Amino acid sequence: MRIGFHVSVGGGLLKALREAQLRRCQTIQVFSAAPSVWKRRTHDDAEDRAFVEGCAAAAISPIFIHAPYLLNLASGDMALWEQSIEVLRHELDAADRWRAEGVVVHLGSAGEDPVEAGMERVVQALNRAREGSCDKARIILENSAGQGNSVGHTLEQIGQIIEQAGADGLGVCIDTAHAFAAGYDLRTVQGLSAMLGQAEEVFGLPMLRLVHLNDSKSTLGSRVDRHEHIGRGQIGREGFRAVLSHPLLAEMPFIMETPKRVKHELEDDLTNLRRVRKLIPIAMRPPLPALPGE
């Protein structure tokens, strides 16, 4: 089990590495550039190398890149769809430079079209993005909360997409807040086991590469994506105790994307990290780097 955070690269990669170390991250997720603009990063070889070496020295692994929010692989607007594929390829290139395990993507929205049409476009986009590439990084498909006409709010949809696109070079990320909002009841061990059983059935658990560990402000099945501090939302402490003690998730990287107040980012992250650590059964607790004041 490895625990980490999404950290900002706003001040550069080495600042991100320092932020990760302050949070005792054992794994991290970053944006390669601002998530709400199309312009992507211009790489600096020396900076990239220092980041890779720094992560290795701090035993931070695996590294994940989260693709920008603008991407819509399910879009019927062909200009937007093409641009999304191009940016995804760019992100895969960044992932290879940083020896990242993969690029996490939201599958997007089918807009006015039936969801099946959106799913088919996602399959084509994944094929295009992987075409002729020798990328080692995977494209990691994240489940959605199901807002709008978004693709991928059920594991069956993700399973179908993987089956049609071919599993090579793909992976899956389950976000606990999105799953809960989409109707998976993660408040109990039974609910969690049912979801994992379904994951095994529709794409196979080895495809699951990452869990986004977020509590949910919104209620079960609300299809609204609102993250909350661990244990303080609708999933609650018992739900996270179940997630963090489930044998099938014992080897999983967990990345938190929990809320943070401006100027109190570190404090809020460390509060969530302390809560998470307390919810891991003692026998399963990985060797964890000490926190300030411990």
| Residue numbers at the binding site for Zn ion (CB under 5 A) | 175, 212, 225
Task: Please report, in angstroms and rounded to a whole number, the separation of the first and last CA atoms in the chain.
Answer: 20
Residue 198 beta carbon to Zn ion: minimum distance, rounded to whole angstroms:
19
**Closer by beta carbon to Zn ion, 75 or else 144:** 144
The residue among 91 and 175 lying less far from Zn ion, judged by its C-beta, is 175
In the complex, minimum distance from the CB of residue 42 to Zn ion, in angstroms, rounded to a whole number? 26
For the record, the structure tokens of 101 come out as 């395990």
Backbone angles phi, psi at 118, to 5 degrees: -65, -40
For residue 106, the minimal CB distance to Zn ion (Å) is 8
Q: Rounded distance, CA 141 to CA 7, Å?
A: 20
Nearest distance from C-beta of residue 47 to Zn ion, angstroms = 26
CA distance 140 to 107: 10
Q: Please say whether the beta carbons of 277 and 288 come within 8 A.
A: yes
Kindly state the smallest distance separating residue 244's Cβ from Zn ion, in Å: 17
Q: How would you label 96-118 residue by residue, b for 16+ Cβ within 10 Å and e otherwise?
A: ebbbbbbbbbbbbbbeeeebebb
Name, in order, each residue with C-beta under 8 angstroms of 20's C-beta and a sequence gap of 6 or more: 4, 5, 7, 28, 55, 58, 60
User: Closer CB to Zn ion, residue 212 or residue 229?
Assistant: 212
The least CB distance from residue 228 to Zn ion, in Å, is: 11
- Do residues 169 and 139 lie in contact, with contact meaning Cβ atoms separated by under 8 Å? yes
Q: Which is nearer to Zn ion, 101 or 225 (CB)?
A: 225
Q: For residues 282 and 240, is the Cβ–Cβ distance under 8 A?
A: no
Q: Please identify, using beta-carbon distances, which residue of 120 and 175 lies nearer to Zn ion.
A: 175
- Give the bridge partners for 173, in sequence order: 142, 210
Minimum gap (Å) between residue 32 Cβ and Zn ion: 16
120 or 225: whose CB is closer to Zn ion? 225
Indicate the residue among 14 and 34 with the shorter CB distance to Zn ion: 34
